[in-house]
Structure 1
Amino acid sequence: MTQWIAVALAITSAVCLALGTQIQSAAVTGHTGGALSPRGLLVLVRNRRWVGGLALLASGTLLNVAALALATVTVVQPLGVIALVITTLLHARRRRLTINRRTWLAVALCSVGGAGFVACAVPATDPSHVAGAGAERLVVLLLTGLVVLVGVAEVVLRRRRISMFYVLAAGVLYGFVAVLVRLTMTALLSGGIGAVHWLSVLMILVAALLGGWMVQCAYSCGPPDLVIAGLTVVDPMVGVALGLVVLGEAGAGLTTGTAVTMGLAGLVAIVGVVLLSRYHPEVLQRRAAARARTTDPGSGTRPRAATTPCRGEHADQ
């Protein structure tokens, strides 16, 4: 029963995250014409719409934390894919986009893959399992290295504006955050404030802030539903992998057949993300606009350079 309460909290969290993502994305794209800079972020902090989106995202995060306190990472994290459907519909309405068949197929694949993953994860995990201190230290060590790597890569790749880098980096960081939140809440509920490992709390804050910056940068050069699609696939996969391999959350129900089914469900969701990144109507519009800027139909010549909305959207040309 407790796990299903966690599922309900996670679904409500997904709704808040979808609404907050749509609102923040609109605020970011309305105030930036290129790569988001720290100065641009300071401008956004004074934007009421952006702050409202932040409040929704914070509410969604708190609900997700409550869900993680009641159930394992493996059960809670994949439910975030519900946010994709909501974000896609809201964004299409705001931009007056016609959602094409391939986009609907992509959304369906992400949703079916996520739902299948959860259906397999619920009986395959042990919600009463408590990870040891060694496992938590390993997660913190891995996350520390990841934060350094992502921070350096962000500085090096900033001018290239590779959208999938932002999305993948945020997804991996948030996957680690979910695991550490689960460990921290478990320690707090079982042993009180004295049982909490404060280095884990510090790394939660650092990774969450860096992941938030990655998300804001992704908003500046891509549709919000593509960002959500990447996060709702990468985030849970990282969380599940850490939960099963590092934390030992696998229960007696995790058979070979169940593991294979979970893998196939995850693959279906990944295919959905790839399709969305290639055939989303806004991505197609950006691609067409980039072609128009790089080629002069009147003279048949190419100008010296063109500014693309975001690298990674033209890889299939």
Structure 2
Amino acid sequence: MDVVSQWLAVALALLSALCLAVGTQKQGSAVADRTHGRLTPRALMTLLGNHRWLLGLGLLGLGTALNVAALGLATVTVVQPIGVVALVITTLLHARHRRLRINRRTWAAIGLCTAGGAVFVTCAVAATDPAHGISAWAERTVVVMLVVLVCVLGVAAALFRHGLGGTFYVVAAGILYGFVAVLVRLTITRIQGSAGGPLDDVNWLAIGAAAVAAALGGWFLQTAFASGPPDLVIAGLTVIDPMVGVLLGLLVLGEAGPGFSVLTGVLMTLAGGVAIVGVAVLSQHHPEVLARRAELAHRDRHAPSRPGP
């Protein structure tokens, strides 16, 4: 039954990835059309009346619900890496929407991300113990780490908002969502194992920390949409989010099962490295990134020269 549950979780995670991909493309294109490289609270308020943005929000909500259902059946280590499928779908949808021609290096980058993610999830399924119980100490450790992280990232975004690029917001959102996924999994496990009422053993501090982190991650995500193509944003998220979840699952929550070995760890590390290289290649050679770079170079060449002192 445990194997069946894990593969059912994989199926739900795939459906979640589909919803997240379409929702990301819809929201990303809506944000890019309404902003000029930087998201402001006023611009966000105007997006609340944009039907495309609201459709994307609904799809992201559905994708999140499916992901939560998957986390109720399998560990974070199994569920989170599957989100890399969203990268392929988002890239194809965005290229069609913008009428972009996907170049060879972009396809190569997508291949690296997908191959790395596939190997990663295969190793994760074999290496984790879905029946492993999580200690209260481990849960408190994750909550404390997240509270510190929210404070650090929130302060950094407030103090240096004019000097931070899209990469910061993608990485920050991916890290926060990785922690949120872990806390969602822990909350579901507590509810399923409660001897009394379903809410008797719920850690409300964990829920509160996850809610704040999800809200801050959502702002970071919308800001990233304003400064880069949605497929590049989803590429960063689908690599960073699962890596954070897996590291927390293996190192803090102790989800490593008897199938975890040194060889498995090496394979997962190499697969993660391949996926990161794919994101790096995509960030440099995506057709929309190249077009923006060429536009900026053209502006610099034709900008009026300033008189000397």
Q: Which TM-score band applies after superposition, normalised by the shorter structure? A: over 0.9
Residue of 238, 244, 256 corresponding to 2:244: 238
Q: How many residues align?
A: 301
1:76-225 equivalence runs, <5 A: 76-191=79-194, 192-225=198-231
Segment of structure 1 superposing worse, 145-154 or 31-40? 31-40
What is the aligned partner in structure 1 of residue 273 from structure 2?
A: 267
Aligned counterparts of 2:171 and 2:242: Cα–Cα separation in 1:
12
For 1:83, what is the secondary structure of its paired residue? helix
What is the aligned partner in structure 2 of residue 69 from structure 1?
A: 72
**Change in CA separation of 1:112 and 1:120 when aligned onto 2, cut-off 3 Å:** same
Instruction: State the shift of 1:210 in Å.
Output: 0.3
Aligned counterparts of 1:216 and 1:157: Cα–Cα separation in 2:
17
Cα deviations by residue, 1:11-59 (Å, 9 ceiling, x for unpaired)? 0000000000000011111111231111211111121211110000000
1:246-285 equivalence runs, <5 A: 246-285=252-291
What is the aligned partner in structure 2 of residue 19 from structure 1?
A: 22
Aligned counterparts of 1:232 and 1:210: Cα–Cα separation in 2:
18
Aligned counterparts of 2:208 and 2:9: Cα–Cα separation in 1:
25
Cα deviations by residue, 1:204-238 (Å, 9 ceiling, x for unpaired)? 11000000000000000100000000000000000
Instruction: State the shift of 1:104 in Å.
Output: 0.1
Instruction: Output the TM-score relative to the length of structure 1.
Output: 0.93
Instruction: State the shift of 1:294 in Å.
Output: 1.1
Kindly provide the amino acid, as one letter, of the partner of residue 268 in structure 1. Answer: V
**Change in CA separation of 1:31 and 1:128 when aligned onto 2, cut-off 3 Å:** same
Ranges in structure 1 where 5+ consecutive residues have no aligned partner: 305-317
Instruction: Output the TM-score relative to the length of structure 2.
Output: 0.96
RMSD across aligned positions (CA) = 1.2
Aligned counterparts of 2:16 and 2:295: Cα–Cα separation in 1:
35
Instruction: State the shift of 1:160 in Å.
Output: 2.2
Aligned counterparts of 1:48 and 1:80: Cα–Cα separation in 2:
25
- 1:8 is aligned to 2:11: yes
Segment of structure 1 superposing worse, 170-179 or 34-43? 34-43
Maintained 8 Å contact 1:35/1:161: no
Aligned counterparts of 2:266 and 2:305: Cα–Cα separation in 1:
50
Aligned counterparts of 1:141 and 1:21: Cα–Cα separation in 2:
30
Kindly provide the amino acid, as one letter, of the partner of residue 140 in structure 1. Answer: V
Instruction: State the shift of 1:296 in Å.
Output: 2.1
- 1:34 is aligned to 2:37: yes
Cα deviations by residue, 1:43-102 (Å, 9 ceiling, x for unpaired)? 111212111100000000000000011000000000000000000000001111110000
Q: Which runs of 4+ in 1 moved over 3 A?
A: 301-304
